[in-house]
Amino acid sequence: MAGLQCNATAIPGVLLLSADVYGDERGYFREVYRRDRYAAVGIPDEFVQDNQSHSVRGVLRGLHYQIRRPQAKLVGVVRGAIFDVVVDLRRGSPAFGRHVALELTDAEHRLLFVPTGCAHGFCVLSPEADVLYKCTDFYDPGGEGGVLWSDPALAIPWPIAAPLLSPKDRSHPRLADIPLHLLPVWTPAAGGPAI
């Protein structure tokens, strides 16, 4: 049955994953998530909530993170194409303030694992996109955090100049303006960040 390929990125813990896809004239089948195979590549997390977003071309969602109930995420595109971005917010991390940016599409079937302590966002490249992501903790509306998508210090090469943004995403602070106590701490020995 399906194998799982895992590739590291420039940010510790951010992983690009792909599983075997079996296709024929009827369509395709793939195994999106199987706990034992994910644990074998270093993702033992338990996912407790699945979310789906539908967006049109030009929408930018992010950059989001959870403060009180940090969430690791497994992100994939069910339909369309997105420019996906992860920013390391973990104080003390060797990659603090750096980002990973890549394209995820329904045709490539790749998934991105975003560890706790990182902000996540994406913009839609196709006419429409459906994004599905698994989370390791429940959404906490009072514990939301965000970083301004266009923070010049992050130097993210967004492929869009004037995105469609929610009022909340338009008003996030720059990373330098976020109080340190609202940022996670890098704890590599424990396998993840502490808040």
Cβ-contact 117, 133 below 8 angstroms: no
Instruction: State residue 189's pLDDT score.
Output: 57
Q: pLDDT, tens digit, for every residue of 144-174?
A: 999 999 999 999 999 999 999 999 999 999 9
Q: Note if 133 is an active site residue.
A: yes
Q: What is the pLDDT of residues 59-94, one digit of tens each?
A: 999 999 999 999 999 999 999 999 999 999 999 999
Tens digits of per-residue pLDDT, 25-41?
A: 999 888 888 899 999 99
Query: Phi and psi of 45, rounded to 5°?
Result: -55, 145
Mean pLDDT of 52-59: 98
22 part of the active site: no
The CATH architecture annotation of domain 46-188 reads: Sandwich (2.60)
Residue in 65, 120, 133, 172 annotated catalytic: 133
The residue whose two tokens read 């896809």 is: 21
- Per-residue model confidence (pLDDT) at position 163: 98
Asked whether the predicted pLDDT for residue 96 surpasses 60, the reply is: yes
Active-site residue identified among 54, 64, 65, 99? 64
Domain ranges, ordered by start, for the chain: 46-188
Kindly state the helix (H) or strand (E) to which residue 35 belongs, with its residue range: helix 35-40
From CA 163, how far away is CA 156, in angstroms rounded? Answer: 14
